[in-house]
Structure 1
Amino acid sequence: MQDVTHKGVTVVSHPLVQHKLTLMRDKSRSTKGFRQLLNEIGMLLAYEVTRDLPTELVEIETPLTTTMAPMIAGKKLVLAPILRAGVGFLDGMLSLVPSARVAHIGLYRDPDTLTAVEYYFKAPSDIADRLVIVVDPMLATANSAVAAIDRLKERGAKDIRFVCLLAAPEGIARLTAAHPEVRVWTAAIDDHLNDHGYIVPGLGDAGDRMYGTR
C-alpha cells in the first residue's frame, strides 16, 4: 500500500518497511543491525520506485513452448547514491536490480553553513538516456539532494527520481521547489528539523550509525 501525502511524494507504508524503520529508529540498535536493516529497506523501496518501469514483450522458449513474455524495456537504470550514507541502500537495491549502472556523488555537509560540498562525482557517460534514481537515507535540509540533482542535470540526466528513508517537511519543500519534476519516495515524513539540521524524531546521523563512527 502507498499513501501520497505531498504532491510528488510517495510514502511507502508497507508494514515491512514501517516495521524495519521502527527498528532502525531505536538508539540501541547495533551498527550491524542498522546496516542490515538499511540494506533490507533499500530493496523494498527499490521495488516501489521501479513499479512503473516500461516493459516490452519478447519471445522466449519455456520448457513446454514458445511464448511472448514481458521484460523491462529500454536502457538499464542508474542508481546514484550520495556518499557516504547513500551507499547503505545500494546493495539492497542492486540485489533487486543487479544489472543497474551506478553513479557515485560525493558530498558532505559543512557543519557551520549546512551547505553541500562536492568532493567526488562519477557517472555513466550516457546518463541522459537512462532513468536515474538518486539515493540518500535522509532528506533533511535537502542541500545535498538539490546539489546532487543539479550535478546530474549538468551531465545531461533528464529522468530523475529520489529515494530516501526519512524526509522532513522542510527538505521536501526545498527539493520540490528546486526540482519540481523529481518525484520522491520515502518511508516516512517526520515532524521537523532541529537547529542543527537533523530530522526529528528521526534516527540520528544515518552515516555514523551505519559505519559506527558516532
Structure 2
Amino acid sequence: MSLPKNIHISSHPCLQAKLSQLRSQATPTRETRDLVHEIATILGVEALAVSLKTSKGGTDTTPLGYTYETQVISPADVALVPILRSGLGMIEALNNLLPSPVPIYHLGLFREKLSLQPVEYYNNLPFHRPESSTELNANTVNSAASDTAILLDPVIATGATAEAAIDLLREWGVRRIVMLSVLCSEAGVRRVAEHWPEGVEVWVGAVDAQCDEKGMIQPGLGDIGDRLFVAMGK
C-alpha cells in the first residue's frame, strides 16, 4: 500500500492487538471505551513525539534543594479538537499526555445519509476580531487561533468529514493539524492527507481497503459513535 508521506500507520503490537479486540461485535460498551482510550494513548505518544519539541522553560528546585533547568513543550499553543460525537472518546487520552491543560474546542459534523457529505451543526472555535474596523481586511489574522490543532476522530471512512474539519481549522487560522484516528479506509485517509499536504500529519492505527455503499469501512469496526454512547438503532 503506497500512501502519502504525511500518513503514519502505527506498527505497535499492543495497538494492533487492541484494535483486533475493538473490531469484535462481542466487545461491550465499557470495553469499547477503554480500547479507544488506550489506542488513542499509543497513537498520541507516537504522534506527539514527532510533532512537538521541548524548549527551555527556566529553572526550578528539587525537594533536596538542587536547581534544575525545566523543559516545556513547543509549540506551547496547542488545542485539542474532537469531531463530535466519537472524537470525545479520545480527548482524555491526549489531555493526559500533554504536560499542562490546553483548550478543547468542538466541531459538530454529521454525514448526510444519502449524499454521504458532511453537514456542520456545531462549531465553538473562538474568533477575536481587531479592535478597530480599519484593521479588518483580507489578511487579518485571527489572534484566537492556536498554532497547532490536534484533530481527533476514531474513524476516517470516506474522508469527507475530516476534510471539512480541516477546512474549518484552516479558516480559523491554525498553522498545522495533527490528526489522530484509530482506523481509516485507504481512500479516506489519502483524501485527508492530500487535502492540505504541507499542513496536515495523519496518525492512524490501521488502514482497511475500502468502504461499502453506505460509507462504512470494510471490515471496519462498525459505527464507533453508536458503540461508544450506546445509541444503537437511531
TM-score (norm 1): 0.92
Report the counterpart of residue 11 of structure 2 in structure 1.
13
* Pair 1:59 & 2:59 matched: yes
- Cα displacement (A) at 1:114: 0.3
Report the counterpart of residue 102 of structure 2 in structure 1.
100
Distance (whole Å) between structure 2 residues aligned to residue 130 and residue 102 of structure 1: 14
Report the counterpart of residue 153 of structure 1 in structure 2.
170
Gap change, CA 1:48 and 1:39, over 3 Å in 2: same
Distance (whole Å) between structure 2 residues aligned to residue 34 and residue 149 of structure 1: 27
TM-score (norm 2): 0.84
How many residue pairs align between the two structures?
211
1:128 match: secondary structure: coil
Distance (whole Å) between structure 2 residues aligned to residue 27 and residue 207 of structure 1: 14
Gap change, CA 1:43 and 1:113, over 3 Å in 2: same
Distance (whole Å) between structure 2 residues aligned to residue 176 and residue 40 of structure 1: 24
Equivalence map 1:19-168=2 (5 Å): 19-52=17-50, 53-57=52-56, 58-62=58-62, 63-97=64-98, 98-125=100-127, 126-168=143-185
* Pair 1:208 & 2:207 matched: no
Distance (whole Å) between structure 2 residues aligned to residue 136 and residue 155 of structure 1: 19
Letter in 1 for 2:89: G
Stretch of structure 1 that moved more, 171-180 or 156-165: 171-180
Distance (whole Å) between structure 2 residues aligned to residue 35 and residue 66 of structure 1: 42
Counterpart contact for 1:127–1:157, Cα < 8 Å: no
Counterpart contact for 1:102–1:124, Cα < 8 Å: no
Structure richer in strand, relative to its length: 1
Distance (whole Å) between structure 1 residues aligned to residue 75 and residue 117 of structure 2: 36
Identity of aligned residues (%): 35
Distance (whole Å) between structure 1 residues aligned to residue 219 and residue 90 of structure 2: 21
Report the counterpart of residue 189 of structure 1 in structure 2.
207
Counterpart contact for 2:4–2:193, Cα < 8 Å: no
Gap change, CA 1:185 and 1:74, over 3 Å in 2: closer
Q: CA RMSD in A?
A: 1.7
Counterpart contact for 2:184–2:217, Cα < 8 Å: yes
* Pair 1:171 & 2:188 matched: yes
- Cα displacement (A) at 1:195: 1.1
Counterpart contact for 2:79–2:146, Cα < 8 Å: no
Counterpart contact for 2:180–2:204, Cα < 8 Å: yes
Q: Structure 1, residues 34-55: CA drift from partner, whole Å, max 9, x if none?
A: 0111112222211111113121
- Cα displacement (A) at 1:153: 0.9
Structure with max Cα Rg: 2
Distance (whole Å) between structure 1 residues aligned to residue 67 and residue 8 of structure 2: 39
